């Protein structure tokens, strides 16, 4: 489905509450290898032809506040083992949180039994792309400051100061949250791989609201932060991380306090802003906004499981059918549109050394000079594209969830010519500059979409004139990417992302980043979203 990023009620909380200090404990690698071998051997002796084991420790810390109150502090740990096997040509999966040798062996037997039961409803046996064993290897996210080592009080103080700053500058209400995640994942397979990985993610977010009591009108301005694959250093903003323009934007580091202060002022401006005239506009889209359009219109339709129909009952299928890829000339976007999948990008949400089926991660072209050239693939799909290796897109959100194909970081490459945001705006006669992500919706094959935003500025004859309100744009993915006429250079490149991207039945979440520089799209249909009830 989509990036459930801004929906507060949808926050998935997994695991058992723990004392904050327990999050800093580390589990012995030799013990994890020993327990994995118990599972691998038990599955093999029960008839499995392939087995992988994931021992996962998933830590979450969420600090939730509103105005001058701490609403909730969540510290959870979820620890256990998931065992996936192939037997009689079919997949089987079972998971347990009781990691003694007997129970691990029994769980492996159960996974084999489920595989055998499922195999009677198969049309063809699973075909896995070959994968060499890497032996015993490790990967750690290159963080500077472990967020779980920062005292809770420091985090509470930050959020309450953020709230106070927003209120002082004009907000009536403010909610703020710090999400922090640490995945300690151990993977072992019958290919001979044993991988220990340490992954960190952080997302500071706020929602600032102002109510005009007289008219009854209210508006909200959300934080312009990005969720990142970083430690607490993301919140140590330096002057060189700030981009000054019509509003301050952030690259790689975030000044939450400063953004809250500005948001308190801007939410008042939003209430008074001119309602947009519907029609065709040239859009200048900031990376804090465009990441979501990339996610929905490029990331999801290039997932091969959707193309093949495995998500038909829930998330849907894809307009990027295999014949379009086979033709080698499907014109997805204009010639300047180059989109790359990259599971190694430093600071991104999807960065890992190895995926959840033991494949070393890398990068590859998805859209090259506007043409569809590749998809996102896992081991049991690679043969369909004639590939002899997976691209490393397998992920499970917990030890108790079965791994499946999930989105890689998918990013629009910056323009090759030197071009700033001002250069982009200068050439626009009638346009709108959109900053921040808002409402988003796209069809089940990823053709027709509609996006809102946080801040909208009218552009007339190359100049920003005033703030607009009630803006949403509608387009078709192929039409939209073919209307891309300018992309700012690498100096403007930034990451955005989704912390809780949902997919699958039962549903699982994943986190994924999308990078880009500010880009221009010509002649896009803009609608006015204002309505009256009663």
Partner 1 sequence: MTILTQDEARSLMKKVLAYSKADECEVNLNGTDRGNIRYARNAVSTSGRISQSTLVVQSAYGKKSGVATINEFDDASLEKVVRRAEELAQLAPENPEYMPVLGPQKYAEPVTFIQSTADISPRWRSDAVAQSIQVAKDNKVVAAGFLEDNTRYAAMMNSKGLFAYNTSTNIDFSITVRTEDGKGSGYATRGYNDVTKLDTKAVTKIATDKAVLSASAKAIEPGKYTVILEPTAAAVLIERIFFGLDARQADEGRSFLSLPGGKTRLGEKLVDERINVYSDPLNRELPTSTWNGDGRPQEKINWIEKGVVKNLTYSRYWADKKAVKAIPGPDGAIMEGGTKTLEELIQGTKKGILVTRLYYIRDVDPQSLLLTGLTRDGTFYIENGKIQYPVKNFRFNESPVIMLNNLEELGKPERTVSDESNANYLLPPMKIRDFTFTSLSDAV
Work out how close the CB of 445 gets to partner 1 at its nearest, in angstroms, rounded to a whole number. 4
List the interface residues with partner 1, window 364-393 (CB under 8 A): none
Tracing tokens 């089926």 back to the chain, one arrives at 357
| DSSP label of 325 | H
DSSP three-state, residue 525: strand
- Please work out the total of residues on this chain that contact partner 1, with binding judged by CB under 8 A: 79
Which residue, 200 or 289, is less far from partner 1 as judged by CB?
289
Our finding on whether 156 is near partner 1 (CB under 8 A) is: yes
Our finding on whether 450 is near partner 1 (CB under 8 A) is: yes
Our finding on whether 41 is near partner 1 (CB under 8 A) is: no
- On the question of a cis peptide bond just before residue 506, with omega within 30 degrees of 0, the verdict is yes
Our finding on whether 120 is near partner 1 (CB under 8 A) is: yes
Work out how close the CB of 530 gets to partner 1 at its nearest, in angstroms, rounded to a whole number. 7
Work out how close the CB of 174 gets to partner 1 at its nearest, in angstroms, rounded to a whole number. 12
Among 209, 331, 363, 522, binds partner 1 (CB under 8 A): 209
- 10 Å CB burial of residue 120 (0-12, 13-18, 19+) is exposed
Among 161, 164, 420, 448, binds partner 1 (CB under 8 A): 448
Distance of CA 532 to the CA centre of its chain: 34
Backbone torsions φ then ψ of 233, nearest 5 degrees:
-60, -20
Any alpha helices (H) in 169-240, and if so which ranges? none
Our finding on whether 173 is near partner 1 (CB under 8 A) is: yes
Work out how close the CB of 122 gets to partner 1 at its nearest, in angstroms, rounded to a whole number. 5
Work out how close the CB of 49 gets to partner 1 at its nearest, in angstroms, rounded to a whole number. 18
Interface pattern 401-430 for partner 1 (x via CB under 8 A): -x-x--------------------------
Cα separation values, 369 from 119, 211, 412, 476, Å = 43, 47, 11, 19
Which residue, 139 or 218, is less far from partner 1 as judged by CB?
218
Our finding on whether 505 is near partner 1 (CB under 8 A) is: yes
List the interface residues with partner 1, window 459-488 (CB under 8 A): 470, 472, 474, 476
Instruction: Give CA–CA dist 250/241, Å, rounded.
Output: 6
Which residue, 327 or 441, is less far from partner 1 as judged by CB?
441
| DSSP label of 205 | E
List the interface residues with partner 1, window 99-118 (CB under 8 A): 114, 117-118
For β-strands 193-212 and 217-222, DSSP reports them as antiparallel
Among 11, 14, 70, 467, binds partner 1 (CB under 8 A): 70
Among 14, 211, 246, 485, binds partner 1 (CB under 8 A): 211
Which residue, 24 or 312, is less far from partner 1 as judged by CB?
312
Instruction: Give CA–CA dist 265/267, Å, rounded.
Output: 6
Q: What share of the chain is helix, strand, coil (3-state, %, to 5)?
A: 25, 35, 40
The separation between the first and the last C-alpha atoms of the chain, rounded to the nearest angstrom, is 33
Q: Which helix (H) or strand (E) holds 512?
A: strand 508-516
| DSSP label of 378 | -
Work out how close the CB of 123 gets to partner 1 at its nearest, in angstroms, rounded to a whole number. 4
At residue 454's C-alpha, the angle toward residues 451 and 456, to 5°, is 85
Which residue, 152 or 373, is less far from partner 1 as judged by CB?
152
Work out how close the CB of 234 gets to partner 1 at its nearest, in angstroms, rounded to a whole number. 24
Our finding on whether 525 is near partner 1 (CB under 8 A) is: yes
Work out how close the CB of 524 gets to partner 1 at its nearest, in angstroms, rounded to a whole number. 12
Among 238, 328, 329, 531, binds partner 1 (CB under 8 A): 531
DSSP three-state, residue 308: helix
């Amino acid at each position: 489905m989509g990036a459930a990023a801004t929906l507060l009620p949808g926050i998935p909380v997994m695991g058992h509450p723990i004392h904050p200090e327990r999050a800093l404990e580390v589990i012995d690698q030799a013990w994890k290898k020993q327990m994995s071998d118990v599972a691998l051997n038990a599955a093999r002796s029960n008839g499995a032809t392939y087995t992988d084991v994931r021992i996962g420790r998933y830590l979450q810390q969420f600090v939730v506040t509103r105005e001058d109150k701490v609403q909730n502090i969540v510290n959870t740990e979820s620890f256990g083992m998931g065992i996936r096997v192939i037997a009689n040509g079919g997949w089987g999966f079972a998971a347990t949180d009781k990691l003694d040798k007997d129970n691990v062996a029994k769980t492996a037997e159960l996974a084999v039994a489920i595989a055998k039961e499922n195999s009677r409803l198969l049309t063809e046996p699973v075909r896995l792309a070959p994968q060499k064993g890497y032996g015993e290897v490790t990967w750690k996210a290159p963080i500077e400051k472990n967020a779980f080592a920062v005292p809770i009080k420091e985090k509470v103080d930050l959020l309450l100061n953020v709230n106070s700053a927003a209120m002082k500058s004009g907000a009536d209400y403010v909610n703020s949250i710090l999400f922090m995640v640490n995945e300690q994942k151990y993977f072992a397979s019958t290919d001979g791989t044993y991988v220990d990985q340490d992954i960190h993610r952080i997302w500071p977010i706020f929602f600032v609201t102002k109510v005009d009591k007289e008219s009854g009108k209210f508006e909200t301005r959300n934080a312009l932060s990005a969720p990142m694959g970083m430690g607490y250093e993301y919140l140590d903003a330096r002057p060189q991380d700030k981009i000054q323009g019509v509003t301050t934007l952030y690259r790689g580091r975030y000044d939450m306090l400063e953004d809250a202060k500005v948001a308190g002022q801007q939410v008042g401006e939003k209430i008074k802003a001119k309602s947009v005239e519907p029609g065709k506009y040239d859009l200048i889209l900031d990376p804090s906004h465009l990441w979501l359009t990339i996610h929905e219109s490029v990331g999801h339709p290039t997932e091969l499981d959707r193309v093949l129909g495995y998500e038909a009952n829930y998330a849907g299928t894809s307009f990027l059918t295999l014949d379009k890829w086979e033709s080698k000339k499907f014109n997805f976007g204009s010639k300047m549109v180059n989109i790359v999948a990259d599971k190694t990008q430093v600071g991104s949400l999807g960065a890992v050394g190895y995926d959840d089926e033991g494949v070393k991660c890398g990068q590859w072209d998805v859209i090259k000079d506007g043409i569809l050239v590749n998809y996102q693939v896992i081991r049991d799909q690679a043969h369909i594209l004639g590939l002899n290796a997976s691209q490393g897109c397998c992920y499970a959100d917990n030890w108790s969830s079965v791994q499946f194909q999930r989105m890689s970081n998918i990013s629009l490459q910056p323009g090759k010519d030197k071009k700033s945001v001002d250069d982009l705006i200068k050439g626009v006669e009638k346009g709108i500059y959109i900053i921040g992500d808002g409402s988003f919706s796209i069809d089940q094959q990823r053709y027709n979409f509609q996006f809102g935003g946080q801040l909208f500025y009218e552009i007339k004859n190359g100049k920003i004139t005033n703030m607009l309100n009630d803006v949403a744009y509608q387009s078709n993915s192929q039409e939209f990417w073919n209307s891309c006429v300018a992309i700012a250079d690498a100096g403007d490149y930034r990451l955005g992302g989704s912390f809780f991207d949902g997919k699958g039945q039962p549903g699982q979440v994943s986190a994924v980043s999308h990078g880009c520089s500010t880009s221009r799209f010509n002649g896009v249909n803009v609608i006015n979203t204002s309505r009256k009830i009663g």
